[in-house]
Every structure is written in C-alpha cells, then in structure tokens.
Amino acid sequence: MGEKNTAEINERIEANLPLVKHVVFQVAVHFPRHVDREELARAGALGLVEAARRYDESRGVPFERFAAQRIRGAILDAVRAADWAPRSVRLLARRLEAAEQQLASELGRVPTTVEMAAEMGVGLDELKKLQDRLFRSVVLALDHETGDDGDEELTLVDVLTDRSAVEPSEELEARELHTYLRDAVELLPERQRHVVVGYFLDGKTSQELARFLGVTESRVSQLRSEALRNLKLGIEAQYEVTDESAPAGRVARRQAAYAESVSSASDWKDRLGRWDTGYDIPEEPLLPVVPA
C-alpha cells in the first residue's frame, strides 16, 4: 500500500511540474525585479511536493486546484522569510509602482520626478525620502547580474570594491613614504631622534626621557614638537616643487638642508623595493632605562 501511495505521489508531482511555473509567473508580477524567480520556483516545487503528500481525493477537490494553493502559499512564505523590510515599506513600494505605471500608461513615457510627486500628492523632498527608504530595503544577492550587456556577464560580486585589497600604485606610494619616514627619523638631530624613538617606539614617558637626557619634562615636550615639525617639513618637501633659489634665514637653510638629506638618503629603487612598513624596532629598547 505504501509503495502504491509513493508511486501516486511521484506521478502527481511529475505531471504537475508545469503548474509550478504557471503559479510563479502569476505571483512574480507582484514582486520587485530583484527577487530571484528561480528561488520562487524552488519554493513552489517544495509546495507541490507537500501538496502531493497531503492531497485527499475523497474530499472531491481537484488536485490541480489544491496544489496551486499550496504552491502559492509556499512561495509567499519563502518570500516573507527572506524579506527583512517591514510591511509599511512593501506597501510604499506598491504605491510608488502603481503611480508610475498609471502615469506611464497616460503619458506614453517614463514620468518625471515632478509628475510622480504630483501623482502621489507629496512634495519633491518627501518623494525623495520615500524613494530612499524604499531603495534601502532592497537586498541583492552577490550573484545578481548588474547589466544587460550580453558580451560581458557581470554579477554584483564582480563589480564590488574590495577595500582590503591594495592597488599596486598605492603599495608603491606606501613603500616610498615609509622609507622617507625611516630616513627622516635617522637624520633628526640627536636629541630629537632620542625623543621620537623613545616616545613613539620604546614607549618611554616624558619623565623617563627627561632623566635620560638630563633636561626638564617641558624641554622634552619642546623637543618632541620640534622633531615632529621637522619630520613633517622633511617629508612634505619630497612631494612638493621647491624653489631653486637659496632659502633666506638660518632656520630656513637648516630645514632645506635637512629635507635635502632626507631626499638623498636612499635611492629611489631602494625606496620602492622595501616591503617593511616603518622604522626598525629592535628587540631591546633603543634607550636605556634610567632609574629614578
């Protein structure tokens, strides 16, 4: 008896597979274009299987009518389960779509934003807010096709930007900048270099650096500010067009000489060929720990 029932169920399923396609066609017209029709068909097929298993011929209802209701219900359940947008957004989508279709049939063309706002009875700003709210509710699968170009089939995943990936040009720029920074630190005046390395790389406090250098903490702060200013000027000079005339003033000449030394410290091939990212940090601290 069980084998007979299984054979009847399989026969009903195979004989009514076209019914799934027919129901999907009827239902799909009420959904946005981004809803995958194949997903609807898979849900409908499961509804057909359930209908074949639950069908009771003694009730006198034709199987096709019973199955169509089950298929439709399975499709709607699948869409609701996958839809995170609230009901109000879906009602809004239907209102906008109905208004657009109504105007398109009357005008014989796609309506403008002004015409849509007038049809909806809202202002332009309000219409834009409604459309933004609707657009934010659209969820696309990564295999969603992005264009109608038959020569190149691109999906959404093909055109999304990978923000974790670094372009070759960006990689070269980063290598050059890191090398300039390394050279600029090494070429700082001795006390400024001690402060930068100790403070930013060794994690020394201003108090520890003051004891090591034999100066006050305020002087350490001043040295740090001077070092950072020199680093900024020295590195920026590598990317700016400089005046060929001799700089006026002792401070300007000293800064120009520092920038020139940073420029000539490494060959351009060495700068672009480095893979490291910054100043070498040795295993031992660069500055000794001075007891209080």
Q: Look at residue 278 and tell me if it is in a domain.
A: no
Domain that holds residue 120: 88-143
pTM to 2 decimals?
A: 0.41
Q: How far apart are CA 43 and CA 45, in angstroms?
A: 5
What are the pLDDT digits (tens) for 211-222?
Answer: 999 999 999 999
CATH, residue 71: 1.10.1740.10
Whether 103 and 125 share a structural domain: yes
Domains of the chain: total: 3
The CATH number given to whatever domain includes residue 232 is: 1.10.10
Question: Does any domain span residue 189?
Answer: yes
Cα 184 from Cα 251, distance rounded (Å): 17
In a domain, 117, yes or no: yes
User: How does pLDDT run across 174-195, given as a tens digit for each residue?
Assistant: 888 888 888 899 999 999 999 9
Q: Is 218 helix (H, G, I), strand (E, B) or coil?
A: helix
Model confidence pLDDT, tens digit, residues 82-119 = 655 566 666 777 788 788 888 888 887 778 888 888 88
**Three-class secondary structure of residue 155 per DSSP:** strand
Question: How far is CA 80 from each of CA 21, 43, 63, 85, 169, rounded to the nearest angstrom?
Answer: 19, 12, 26, 9, 46
